[in-house]
Structure 1
Amino acid sequence: MTRLGLQDTIAAVATAPGHAGVGVVRLSGPDALPLADRLFAGRRTPSRTPAGRFLYGQVLDEQGEALDDGLCLVFRGPHSYTGEDVAELQTHGSPAVLERVLTRALELGARAARPGEFTLRAYLAGRLDLSQAEAVLNLVNAQTETARRQATLGLQGALSERIAAVQRQVTRTLSAIQALLDYPEEGVPEEERDRPLRQAMAELRTLISTSRAGRLATRGARLAIVGRPNAGKSSLLNALLGYERSIVTSRPGTTRDYLEAQLELAGVPITLVDTAGLRLTDDEIEAAGVRQAETLARHADLVLLLEDGHQPRDPLPQLEGLPMLRVQTKQDLPPVWQDPAALTVSARTGEGLAELREAIRAALLGDAARSEVWLGSERQVDAARRALQHLEAATTLPDELASYELEQALQALSELTGRDVQEDVIDGVFRNFCVGK
């Protein structure tokens, strides 16, 4: 996709499917404005309109009759989003109108845009680097304020700036080593060689530590609520949600299938999963629910293991080793055991819920909550980790071999921002975009 058809004029509906007050059909490419001249009739033609201006008029069909009233916004390369001439036709947001306008643009010679092709052209034109392009996708998909903020910081170049700072530190060390190899009698001060390398490694470790939080803020987290029957799982789910989503009874084993509910917590979209109570049972249906609960726990980002503080303790060893918070429930009743490592809550009174929410936030985000910029994709994490591995290797090798490792680290950092990256990697990034962006 990367090099195919980049000289074509492309068109796509740039607004979300469905009915809306306004819809947009976007054209970009060398013939975008001449094509808009034939598609739109206003007081002047789009090709004669200065950049940044808009026209009021009508979008025309093949007979010259009006498809709809609307606006035409004109942008000129290289200062447009794509770096090319762009025309955006704003009409009423009827799917029928937008489909007809797009069809007419294609009849006049435009090609249907591929997923992410507008942003791909912006990247290839140097308007964005690859990390900023990924931030565009994250911004489109953002479900929470935290995800929006992280995507906006990425789009503004905050991650690119952090990576550029690391590259400068690595380059300083590489230059110092090369100078030492060329002029060994001169020597190189420690602050010119080792200190920049230590700072670069520390910065990469900080960025890598944010990767889990970045992924969860973008795609969301699954939080499984598990425990023995009647441990208060459904009650806690309702208490966290603030409304009754799950049926609560005093009869053990009521929940036989799992139940999901959506919640935003600490800026992360969370899917809460209420599961069947874990116990040995001869009931075939309940046993299937127990197996399903164990599977859901193993695939969750975090497990809340609930234990009834009003009943004798009965541990669940099969869940050991999972990312887990232990929660002692029913604190409105006299407890019969205590565990300093367990959080204590009462779904009935709300006692301990604030502390539980904070513990969930800490378990999901960790120290990343204090960081301004998060790594948001597996591709970024992989490049950062490879760069760090090369830097760590450089600290253990003679100068001649250390220079090679530093060069490899710079290569990995360039891949992170997309300045030196293979076409299949670029295609993989933009394949996830929607059509029209």
Structure 2
Amino acid sequence: MTLKDPICAIATPLGKGAIGVVRLSGEGALEVASRVWRGKDPRKLKGGRFTLGEVVDPETGEVLDQALLLVFRAPRSYTGEDACEFHTHGSMAVLRRVLEALVKAGARLAGPGEFTFRAYMNGKLDLAQAEAVLALVEAEGDLARRQALRSLEGSFSRKIAALEDRLLSLLAHIQALLDYPEEGVEPLEARRVIGEVLEEVEALLAQARSSRLAQRGARLALIGAPNAGKSSLLNALLGYERALVSPIPGTTRDYLEAPLELFGIPLVAVDTAGIRDTLDPLERAGVERALRIAEEADLVLYVADRSAPRPSLPPLPPRTLKAATKADLPPLWEDAEFIPVSSVTGEGLGQLKEAIREAFLGRGEGEYLLSERQIEALHQARERLLEAKNLPEDLMGLALEEALKALASLRGRKEVSEEVVARVFQNFCVGK
């Protein structure tokens, strides 16, 4: 395998669809395309232009599909190479035959993430942007999409580059102080500069929680006494009827899960059995499961009916919000810790959603979607900066060099090992 031979892969998800895309890239890609294309010669087309024609088997001449061909000319392509895309009908039968035809014509099947790997190796993306491509492909909520897109556009890389420049300037100044003391180089406030860079690194690390939430999602457990309005509140949060609502206590004996996206965060909301003392073994099992779900959830929403006598609260995890339901009815009790909400009129739903958002994200959603590798590198940079800050200026150099190396690894610079690069691309799908 080389980094120049033509590679091909299906770029759209497996399954039926109106359109499917097969990618081809590499040295000689347009020559390969010309062997399977009946229409205008791909080798003579300008980049960025579609043309209509037919995909054919290069050995038998059989027409495989009518399609559009989109040509890209190096270096103005995703990979930085000559490339093209076949936009065919979206059945797997068509896509497989087109792929087979390209292999017969001289291409080979691409490995996972190989198109993006070539883009990285050809300088079209740095390592942080390559990770953002994967994050954008896998984004399940709008928060992950927004954060990944910022990194793909280069915002995160530019921030890291600015920190690298500051450390490089500081290192150069310290070296000048050591090598040419007689030249009268003015001492620099090294600790102030290190402190400022350290603040930036710690601000990025503070986004690790929102990154994990955006990528992995979270579980929100609704618990409370029977008939507290948990199922109605779940339906109100979802915006459609998912849970069965009944005035009969103990209707929900098992838990019910429903996907929910709030402020771009992918959540799984879990409606649980009403918590009360009961002799019914089936209901008791449901209560025990509800308490276990609450203990394992990322956030608990304790629900109580304020139009009924106030229930005694069970032991609650620290990560608990409290909602007082049926706010459209006259209350029998008030408590500032509870958010009044009505599943019928929608009163208080906005305030409750905002409280859920703040419980997960604090005051801000985070600007970037950080991978575990990036979080690890930022931690390494932080440790070395803290070390440098507590050393005399003449001994700061080595610690600063290590901090600089950790920061530079985020963009794929400064001796990034093949193992690290392989770890970044190992989770990519074929075709990306």
Fold match, TM over 0.5?
A: yes
Aligned to 2:408: 414
SS in 1 for 2:175: helix
Structure 1 residues 70 and 396, CA, compared in 2 at 3 Å: closer, same or farther? Answer: same
Aligned to 2:54: 58
Give a deviation string over 1:320-376, Cα, whole Å, max 9, x none.
33x22222333344445443233222323322111101111112222333x5x2233
Aligned to 2:396: 402
Paired letter, 1:247:
L
Aligned to 1:360: 356
SS in 2 for 1:255: coil
Aligned to 1:107: 104
Structure 1 residues 181 and 343, CA, compared in 2 at 3 Å: closer, same or farther? Answer: farther
Structure 1 residues 225 and 59, CA, compared in 2 at 3 Å: closer, same or farther? Answer: same
8 Å CA contact 1:147–1:217 kept in 2: the answer is yes
8 Å CA contact 1:311–1:335 kept in 2: the answer is no
8 Å CA contact 1:345–1:353 kept in 2: the answer is yes
Deviation at 1:210, TM superposition (A): 1.8
Aligned to 2:230: 233
Aligned to 1:71: 68
Deviation at 1:280, TM superposition (A): 4.5
Deviation at 1:175, TM superposition (A): 2.8
Counterpart CA distance in 2 for 1:294 and 1:187 is 67
- 2:21 is the counterpart of 1:21: no
Structure 1 residues 254 and 422, CA, compared in 2 at 3 Å: closer, same or farther? Answer: farther
- 2:190 is the counterpart of 1:196: no
Aligned to 1:348: 344
- 2:5 is the counterpart of 1:11: no
- 2:375 is the counterpart of 1:377: no
Percent identity over the alignment? Answer: 53
Structure 1: runs of 5+ lacking an equivalent? none
8 Å CA contact 2:261–2:267 kept in 1: the answer is yes
Structure 1 residues 423 and 339, CA, compared in 2 at 3 Å: closer, same or farther? Answer: farther
Give a deviation string over 1:274-297, Cα, whole Å, max 9, x none.
122334444433333333323333
Counterpart CA distance in 2 for 1:119 and 1:334 is 60
Aligned to 2:423: 428
Structure 1 residues 171 and 280, CA, compared in 2 at 3 Å: closer, same or farther? Answer: farther
Structure 1 residues 178 and 337, CA, compared in 2 at 3 Å: closer, same or farther? Answer: farther
Structure 1 residues 251 and 177, CA, compared in 2 at 3 Å: closer, same or farther? Answer: farther
8 Å CA contact 2:323–2:341 kept in 1: the answer is yes
SS in 2 for 1:392: helix
Deviation at 1:428, TM superposition (A): 2.4
Aligned to 2:154: 157
TM-score by length of 2: 0.91
- 2:321 is the counterpart of 1:330: no
Deviation at 1:132, TM superposition (A): 0.7
Deviation at 1:398, TM superposition (A): 2.5
Aligned residues: 428
Counterpart CA distance in 1 for 2:228 and 2:261 is 24
Worse overlay, 52-61 or 124-133: 52-61
Counterpart CA distance in 1 for 2:395 and 2:283 is 62
Structure 1 stretches of 4+ moved >6 Å: none
8 Å CA contact 1:305–1:326 kept in 2: the answer is yes
Deviation at 1:59, TM superposition (A): 0.8
Structure 1 residues 340 and 247, CA, compared in 2 at 3 Å: closer, same or farther? Answer: same
8 Å CA contact 1:209–1:368 kept in 2: the answer is no
Counterpart CA distance in 1 for 2:168 and 2:34 is 51
Paired letter, 1:91:
T
SS in 2 for 1:435: coil
Aligned to 1:127: 124
8 Å CA contact 1:169–1:199 kept in 2: the answer is no
Structure 2: runs of 5+ lacking an equivalent? none
- 2:258 is the counterpart of 1:261: yes
TM-score by length of 1: 0.90
- 2:206 is the counterpart of 1:209: yes
8 Å CA contact 2:300–2:317 kept in 1: the answer is no
RMSD: 2.3
Counterpart CA distance in 2 for 1:181 and 1:349 is 72
Counterpart CA distance in 1 for 2:29 and 2:153 is 27
Counterpart CA distance in 2 for 1:277 and 1:335 is 21
